[in-house]
Amino acid sequence: MSQQKIEKRSMLSKLLHVFIPPPRWRFPVIILLGIFFGIGLHIFYISNAVSYLSDDPMACINCHVMTPQYATWERSSHGKVATCNDCHVPQDHIVRTYYFKAMDGLRHATMFTFRLEPQVIRIKSAGREAVQQNCVRCHSNQIHPIGLRAINNRSVEDQRPGYCWDCHREVPHGREAVLKFSINSIILVYQNIYSRLFSFKSKKI
């Protein structure tokens, strides 16, 4: 056996020695690792984590605070042609898509787990840019360069760059989600979930 291979094996054994506990601690460490692994699997299951890898809009209401946004989208014109990810996640490159989903999902999970979400949910800067890019991507054949325009009796002049929803305020979530609207939205969403479950059971039978 060459000297290089011997050195590699000795380095590997030293590395393993650092991580492997002494004999009297091995059983408790295995038990603790099993407990943490089980808790991790349970959290993964109850949070329905796999759903976040898909484009299913139902994943967005795993957190109950998003119920009004889901209900308004579902009953808008966009509900027939686009999912949440089509609008809110960059679509120009698959790596950027999943990186954005991972970072945004981690922030959302942290906020909702520790109950840090605000009363009024407002889109962040990165999210605004993603939505704007997707508006242009889908409607490129219907729009001209976007700008806010000041109109008076004499002229029309561009003042500064704007977003599509500066004018199209009601697309697709409406201007604001008041309490009465939120309650109605919750009822609509749970009716939708019930109908889906019922149709699934009837197909299974």
Domain span including residue 19: 1-46
In the prediction, which pLDDT does 113 show?
Answer: 76
Of 10, 30, 46, which closes a domain? 46
In the prediction, which pLDDT does 37 show?
Answer: 93
In the prediction, which pLDDT does 204 show?
Answer: 46
| Predicted confidence pLDDT, tens digits, the chain (205 residues) | 566 666 666 777 777 777 777 788 888 888 999 999 999 888 777 767 777 778 888 888 877 678 888 888 888 889 889 999 999 999 989 999 999 988 888 888 788 778 787 777 788 899 999 999 999 899 888 876 655 455 554 455 555 567 888 888 888 887 654 444 455 555 666 666 666 666 544 444 4
Are 3 and 92 in the same domain? no
Are 52 and 10 in the same domain? no
Neighbours of 178 (CB within 10 A): 11
Are 128 and 193 in the same domain? yes
In the prediction, which pLDDT does 203 show?
Answer: 46
Are 38 and 117 in the same domain? no
Are 93 and 177 in the same domain? yes
Of 28, 46, 64, which closes a domain? 46
pTM higher than 0.85, yes or no?
A: no
Are 70 and 139 in the same domain? yes
Rounded to an integer, what distance in angstroms lies between the CA atom of residue 109 and that of residue 53? 14
Are 114 and 30 in the same domain? no
Q: Tell me the pLDDT tens digit for each residue of 147-156.
A: 545 555 445 5
Are 98 and 21 in the same domain? no
Are 40 and 95 in the same domain? no
Domain with residue 105: its CATH number is: 1.10.3820.10
Are 147 and 198 in the same domain? yes
Q: Tell me the pLDDT tens digit for each residue of 37-69.
A: 999 888 777 767 777 778 888 888 877 678 888
Are 139 and 94 in the same domain? yes
In the prediction, which pLDDT does 87 show?
Answer: 93
Are 16 and 91 in the same domain? no
Indicate the number of domains in the chain: 2
